[in-house]
Amino acid sequence: MKRQVKRLQRGDTIGIIAPASPPNEKFLNKSLEFLQELGLDYRFGDSLLNVDGYLAGTDDERLNDLHQMFAAPDIAGIFCACGGYGTARYADRIDFDLIAQNPKVFWGYSDITYLHTAIGKYADIMTFHGPMLASDVGKGTFQEKSAEMFQQLFAPSILHYDDTFGPIQTFMPGQCQGELTGGNLSLLASSIGTPFELETFGKILMIEDIDEEPYRVDGMLNQLRLAGKLQGLAGIIIGDFSHAEPKRKESQTLDEVFGHYFDDLHVPIVKDVKIGHCQPHFAVPLGAHAFLDADERTFSIQPGVR
């Protein structure tokens, strides 16, 4: 398992950065009220509101924000404002020793998956896959169940998912345990063949995505299969795949695609879990130990903070 990070406390200051695309300022500003409700102060990264086409500033500016927030002793944690695109562009220049020596809460999802994978691999700390400030928290669709997930940052607590949080279905029966890994499927696939590719052997793989038709999901899973990333898995948690409907009549369903790649693995699998681009959004610590019971349609995860 990865190393836990220090818990947050009321009065702490968190750093807000945009490691990929620029955030919607209206939604970002609205989300700051939620941080105040949590008892947190905040500081913007220098390039947070910069715009360089589809990027929140240049690669150097976004990387500098990441480094500065991890290095700053008065910053207790880092929340990402949004995802979009761009974290992989500077992954090979991240100072992982700096992060390893200054472990702290790091929270986000979607394109942030590339940073989760890289930081977990080279800094050996747990990071948090959860709703982001401008993308989720500041919108009117943000739900109380999602808000409650931030409480895991303030005290070590075992997370438990069952159908009281949201839908969960058995895809393949059985029970397993192992380190939780994964995130956004397109980012996981794009890491294959790089120094930042996902390590999956003996682990529970979590996948989610948005706006991807079944044939696109097929291609990404095939990439993982050919790279050997589906072999030796302990289990799989299939999160939310919103807006995945095919645009053509001649198409396999998403379940048929999953079946093609997962049926022969003979490992416990659940699907329709409310993780990812959805509300409510169940936030999880990546790199933590998890137990999956596909028969009972539930899973639990050990704390990500100490």
Residue 14 has φ and ψ, to the nearest 5°, of -110, 150
Domain residue ranges in the chain: 13-153, 159-301
What's the pLDDT score for residue 247? 87
- Residue with structure tokens 């948090």? 128
208, 212, 213, 281: the active-site residue: 208
Per the DSSP assignment, residues forming a β-bridge with 159 are 301
What does the pLDDT average to over 193-217?
98
Class for the domain spanning 13-153: alpha beta
What would the pLDDT profile of 9-66 be if each residue is shown by its tens digit? Answer: 999 999 999 999 999 999 999 999 999 999 999 999 999 999 999 999 999 999 999 9
Q: At which residue do the structure tokens 């890491």 appear?
A: 191
Q: If DSSP codes are grouped into helix, strand and coil, which group holds residue 42? A: strand
Cis-peptide into 156, omega within 30 deg:
no
pLDDT tens, residue by residue, 269-278: 999 999 999 9
HSE-up of 248 (CA within 13 Å, CB side)?
Answer: 8
266 is catalytic: no
> Catalytic annotation on 208?
yes
Report the pLDDT value the prediction gives residue 248, as an integer from 0 to 100: 83
Interval 143-153 mean pLDDT = 98
Q: What's the predicted TM-score (pTM) here?
A: 0.98
102-134: pLDDT as tens digits: 999 999 999 999 999 999 999 999 999 999 999
What class is the 159-301 domain?
A: alpha beta
**Residue 249 pLDDT > 90:** no
pLDDT of 241 higher than 90 = yes
Do residues 19 and 108 lie in contact, with contact meaning Cβ atoms separated by under 8 Å?
A: yes
Distance CA 302, CA 292 (A): 12
> What's the average model confidence in pLDDT over 135-145?
98
266-303 pLDDT tens trace: 999 999 999 999 999 999 999 999 999 999 999 999 99
Could you read off the pLDDT of 15-27 as tens digits, one per residue? Answer: 999 999 999 999 9
pLDDT of residue 95: 98
Residues 187 and 121 sit within 8 Å (Cβ to Cβ): no
Q: Catalytic pick from 110, 186, 190, 191?
A: 110
On whether the CB atoms of residues 275 and 237 are closer than 8 A, the answer is yes
Report the distance separating Cα 241 and Cα 208, nearest Å: 6
Report the percent of the chain where pLDDT is more than 70.
100
Q: What is the mean pLDDT of the chain?
A: 98
**Considering only CA atoms, which of 209, 216, 214 is closest in space to residue 238?**
209
Q: Is residue 163's pLDDT more than 90?
A: yes
Average pLDDT in the 146-175 region?
98
Q: What are phi and psi of 272, to 5 degrees?
A: 65, 20
**What are the residues whose beta carbons fall under 8 Å from the beta carbon of 194, sequence distance 6 or more?**
88, 91
Average pLDDT over residues 211-236: 98
Instruction: Give residue 85's pLDDT band: very low, low, confident or very high (50, 70, 90).
Output: very high
pLDDT for position 282: 98
- Cβ atoms 204, 178 nearer than 8 A: yes
| CA distance from start to end of the chain | 14
